[in-house]
């Protein structure tokens, strides 16, 4: 579990969040090995996990034929799950043998909802990571801006 948290800390999305703020999520992280060609998630299936990459290359494929590669330690896959009604919107295929950290979706959602300051830090980092890695994905709405003034 400690090793899994260390991988998380290498992620630009998590590194500015303190370990204590990871809360329950820090307790349920799991490290897994994935074989070449293995499919981690299939588009349309019920979403149960988010992933953080330790080593290897993963192909993120969308239904319109577009795709992106995730191949840097700490890369995060799956935040679109927050708005996709609980289903995977991309198919994740390991192009090489990979080591990944698996985060249960419910635990991640609790982290986002319970800790607004860490969540805000995460969302900001996610926004720039997403625009860099998935520039062709349509942008989400303003964060937390229901109130107009």
The residue ranges that bind other proteins (CB under 8 A) are 16, 36-37, 57, 59, 61-62, 64-69, 91, 93-96, 116-117, 120-121, 124-125, 127-128, 131-132, 134-136, 139, 142-149
**Pick 106 or 114: Cβ nearer other proteins:** 114
State the minimum distance, in angstroms, from the CB of residue 27 to other proteins. Answer: 21
Residue 18 or 30: which CB sits closer to other proteins? 18
Min CB(21)–other proteins separation in Å: 9
CA–CA separation, 101 and 74 (whole Å):
9
Which positions ≥6 away from 84 have C-beta within 8 Å? 47
Distances (CA, A) of 137 to 74, 130, 131, 140: 20, 8, 8, 9
> How is residue 141 annotated by DSSP?
P
d(CA 70, CA 90): 13
Q: Pick the closer one to other proteins by CB: 12 or 105.
A: 12
């Amino acid at each position: 579990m400690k090793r899994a948290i260390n991988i998380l800390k290498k992620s630009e999305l998590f590194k500015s969040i303190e370990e204590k703020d990871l809360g329950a999520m820090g307790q349920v992280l799991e490290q897994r090995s994935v074989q070449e060609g293995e499919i981690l998630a299939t588009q349309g299936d019920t979403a149960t996990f988010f992933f953080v990459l330790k080593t290897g290359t993963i192909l993120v494929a969308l239904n319109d034929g577009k795709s992106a590669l995730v191949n840097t330690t700490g890369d995060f896959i799956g935040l679109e799950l927050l708005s996709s009604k609980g289903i995977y919107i991309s198919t994740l295929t390991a192009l090489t043998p990979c080591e990944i950290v698996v985060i249960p979706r419910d635990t991640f959602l609790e982290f986002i909802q319970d800790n607004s300051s860490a969540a805000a830090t995460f969302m900001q980092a996610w926004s720039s990571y997403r625009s860099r890695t998935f520039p062709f994905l349509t942008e989400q709405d303003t964060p937390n801006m229901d109130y107009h003034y």
